[in-house]
Amino acid sequence: MSVGIGLGLQSIVNNLVSGIILIFERPFHVGDFIEVAGKSGRVQDIGIRSSKLTSPTGSEIIVPNGDLLSSHVINWTRTNDHIRVDLALKLAPGTDLETDLQTAREQIQEEIKSSPYTMPNLPPEILLNDINGKDYELKVLFWVMNIRQEQLTKSEILAGIYRRFMAHGLQLSS
C-alpha cells in the first residue's frame, strides 16, 4: 500500500517542485501568450501545482507545472507582442506577370502599410511563391504589432486587398 501511495504522490511532488522552479526561474509571466504541448493561451495564473491558461477561444486550460517544466514552451510575448503573419493569395488566370503582378504587389503593400495594426518599420515581403499554369500564387509576410489582434488584422487586410484589387481590375483565384 505504501508503494502505491508513493507512486501516487510522485506526480504531485513533481508538480510542486516544478511550480517552485517556475516561480523563481520565471520563463513566462502572467499575461504572456505561450504555447506548450499543442495548447496555447494567455497565462492567467502560475500556481504551486498547476498554471492556468486562457485559450484564444476562451476556454481555460489547466497545465500541470511538471508538464511546463519538461515540455518545450514557446513564449510569443516574452520580449514583445509582435507576430509575423503569412497570407497566400492566388491571382486569377489571365493575370499578366509583368504589369498585373507589379500592380498587385503595390496594392498589397499599400494596404498593409495603411493598417494601424502592422509594424510600420518592418516592410511587408511580397514573394512570388508558385506559378501553376496561368495562376500566380503570392506569399505575403508582414508583422502585426499585437498578437491579440492577429486575426482582426488579417481579416481587415484581406478585405482591403480585395477592394483594392477590384478597383484595379485584378481578380483573386480560388
Query: Which CATH number goes with the domain that contains 71?
Result: 2.30.30.60
Strand partners, 40: 35
Q: Say what percent of the chain tops pLDDT 70.
A: 98
DSSP assignment letter at 116? T
Give the pLDDT confidence score for residue 167 in this predicted structure: 94
Q: Enumerate the H helices of 26-149 as residue ranges.
A: 65-70, 99-114
Domain boundary among 18, 47, 75: 75
Same domain, residue pair 57 and 7: yes
For residues 133 and 93, the answer to whether their CB atoms sit within 8 Å is yes
| Model confidence, pTM | 0.72
Given the C-alpha cell 504589432, which residue does it identify? 145
Interval 8-55: pLDDT, tens:
778 788 888 888 888 888 888 898 999 998 899 999 999 888 999 999
Give the pLDDT confidence score for residue 162 in this predicted structure: 94
CA 44 – CA 46 distance, rounded (Å): 7
In a domain, 174, yes or no: no
Strand partners, 87: 140
Highest mean pLDDT (candidates 18-27, 131-140, 145-154): 145-154
CATH number of the CATH domain containing 111:
3.30.70.100
Phi first, then psi, for residue 109 (nearest 5°) are -65, -45
Number of domains in the chain: 2
CA 46 – CA 36 distance, rounded (Å): 14
**Other CB atoms within 10 Å distance of the CB of residue 134:** 12
Indicate whether 131 pLDDT > 90: no
In a domain, 51, yes or no: yes
Give the pLDDT confidence score for residue 111 in this predicted structure: 96
Same domain, residue pair 64 and 101: no
CA 85 – CA 99 distance, rounded (Å): 26
Same domain, residue pair 9 and 65: yes
The mean of the pLDDT values for the chain is 88
Cα–Cα distances (Å) from 172 to 45, 94, 100, 106, 145, in that order, read 45, 11, 12, 15, 27
In a domain, 172, yes or no: no
CA 159 – CA 166 distance, rounded (Å): 11
Q: Which domain holds residue 19?
A: 2-75
Radius of gyration in angstroms for the set of CA atoms belonging to the chain, rounded to a whole number: 23
CA atoms within 13 A on the CB side of 103: 15
Interval 84-94: pLDDT, tens:
999 999 988 77
Interval 89-118: pLDDT, tens:
998 877 666 778 889 999 999 999 999 999
Give the pLDDT confidence score for residue 95 in this predicted structure: 66
